[in-house]
Each structure stands twice: as C-alpha cells, then as structure tokens.
Structure 1
Amino acid sequence: MQSPKIMVMGVGNILLSDEGLGVRFLDELAKFEFPANVEILEGGTAGLELVHLIQDVDFLIIVDAFNGHAEPGALFRFQPGDLQIIPEQYEVSFHQIGIIEVLSMANLLGQAPQTLIFGIQPKCLDWGLEISPEISVLFPRLTELVRKEIDSIQREGKFTSA
C-alpha cells in the first residue's frame, strides 16, 4: 500500500507581524524529521498559483492566521466544510485570495485534498517581522497537534476525530 501524500502548508505575509505566523511556524516544524511522503511548504501569500501544488496531495494541513474575533492566540481547528456554519461577518483569512478559494478551485479542477486548517487569532497585524510572544508561545503545542494529525493519517488514513 502506498503512503498518502501529505502536505503541511504555512501561509501568510511575514511582513505583517502575526499575519505571517503560518510561515514562521514552519521553522519550528522543520526541527523534526518527517517521512518521505510528508512535504512542508511555505505558501506565503500566494493565491491561485497554489492550486497546482496541492492537486496531487491526498491530505493538506494548513496553518494560518484566522480572524475568529477571539482572544489573541486562540487556536481553531476546522475543515473547509465547517466554514459554512461560520457567520458571514467573520473574515476568515487576511489574504486577498483565501485558502478556501484555492481549495474550491482545486475541487473544480477535479482534485482537492482532504484538508484540515489550524487557524490562530493574531495579536498584531502591523508592519514588522516579529511574531507576538503570545502567538509564538503556541508553536510547540501546534507542532504537537500537526504531528499527531500526520501520525493519524499514516496509521488510519484520516485526520484525528478531535
């Protein structure tokens, strides 16, 4: 049996403090070894050009800043279908083209991966290269959660039911 192709993608703009938390998180994740079927990808602020990168992926785990109108550092775990139950006034992504649009386009083209999103409520979106301490302190816990998801996919072929 062939191992499923898994991608962990960090997205965001590293020039806007916590908006870049998804990309900065990958530095933490890079401290660990992963099997050959796991790819770590910096999505940055790329939009629809990401579509071709995810089309041959079986499972996609995304880490991004998420506006859930919560306390800075609040952690959200959801799948794209869950967004239909989030009220419209919630601006999910801070990017021009959100990852949901990228997934929708991949779906239209016939191949969107099973996707799990870890979103973190940012504290600061001002110009700056540093992540707020309230956000960076979450990275070890987030690493543990992402690694747990990868293990679950490897063992059971699905995301955890957490």
Structure 2
Amino acid sequence: MNSPKIMIMGVGNVLLSDEGLGVRILDAFDKDALPDNVELIEGGTAGLELVHLIKDVDFLILVDAVNAKSEPGSVFRFRPEDIRILPDAFEVSFHQVGIIEVLNVADLLGNAPQTLIYGVQPKSLDWGMEVSEEIKAVFPQLIQQIIKEIDHINATNSFMDMPPAKD
C-alpha cells in the first residue's frame, strides 16, 4: 500500500502577531523527524490559489487562528463539515477568503483532500512579527497532537476519531 500524501498547511498573516500562528508553528516542527509522505506548506493568507496546492493531497491538516471567543491558546480540532454546527460567534478564519471556500472549490473540482483543522484562539492581533508567549506555549502540545494524527493516518488511512481538544 502506498503511503497517503499528507500536507500540514499553516495559514495566517505573520504581520499580525498571533494571526500568523499557523505559519509560525511550521518552523517548530522537526522536519527531519517527519515521515517522507508529509509536506509542510505555508498557506499564508493566500485564497483560492491554494486550490492547486492541495489537489494531489490525500490528507490535509490545517493550522490557523480561530476566534472562538475563548481563552488565548485554547485549541480546537474539527472537520470542515463541523463548521455548519458551530455557533455563529465562532469565526473560523480571519482571512478574506477562508480556507473553507478553498476546500469547497477543491470539492467542486473533485479533488478535495480529507481535511482536519486545528484552530488556536489568538491572544493578540496587533501588528507584530512574533506570536505571544501564551500561543508559543501551546506549540509543543499541538505539534505532538499533529504527529499522533500523522502516525494514525499512516497506520489506518484515516484521521483519529476523538472529540475536539480543549484546554
């Protein structure tokens, strides 16, 4: 059996401190320790141009800032289809074209990967290139969780079945 192609995509605006956490966490991964079938991609704030990046991917793990009006550093794990049932107060993305629209377009084109989103509640969206200490503190736990997810995908060809992570 061929290993599934797994992509970890960090999205966000690195100029707005914690809004860039999805991109910043990619630097915290030990790239040498990742299996060969895993690719790390900076999605930045790109919109629909991301569709071509994910067309050959089997499993997409997105990391992004989400506004759940929760404690800074709270981690949420959900599938795109869960967004319909989230409260209206929960904003999935701070970007102009959300990743959900990208996935919808990929789905229409018949090449949307199975997708999982790890969202982190930011502390600050002020101008700045660094993420806040509260967010940096979550990175090791979040990376460990994503590594477990990758191991599970490689073993079972599916995402882990578990409730959303809460702090």
1:2-151 superposed matches below 5 A: 2-151=2-151
Contact 2:17 2:127 in 1 (8 A): yes
Contact 2:69 2:89 in 1 (8 A): no
CA distance in 1, matches of 2:89, 2:123: 19
TM-score, length-scaled by structure 2: 0.94
Matched residue SS, 2:123: coil
Q: Which stretch of the first structure deviates more once superposed, 81-90 or 17-26?
A: 81-90
RMSD across aligned positions (CA): 1.0
CA distance in 1, matches of 2:60, 2:138: 21
Matched residue SS, 2:33: coil
**1:31 CA drift (Å):** 4.9
**1:90 CA drift (Å):** 2.5
**Quick one: which amino acid aligns to residue 119 of structure 1?**
G
**1:36 CA drift (Å):** 1.7
Sequence identity percentage: 64
**1:84 CA drift (Å):** 0.8
Contact 2:6 2:39 in 1 (8 A): yes
**1:75 CA drift (Å):** 0.5
**Quick one: which amino acid aligns to residue 24 of structure 1?**
R
CA distance in 2, matches of 1:140, 1:80: 24
Matched residue SS, 1:112: coil
Q: Which stretch of the first structure deviates more once superposed, 75-84 or 34-43?
A: 34-43
**1:30 CA drift (Å):** 3.7
Question: Any gaps of 5 or more consecutive residues in structure 2?
Answer: 163-167
Q: Which stretch of the first structure deviates more once superposed, 150-159 or 85-94?
A: 85-94
CA distance in 1, matches of 2:122, 2:2: 38
Runs of 4 or more, structure 1, over 4 Å off, are none
TM-score, length-scaled by structure 1: 0.97
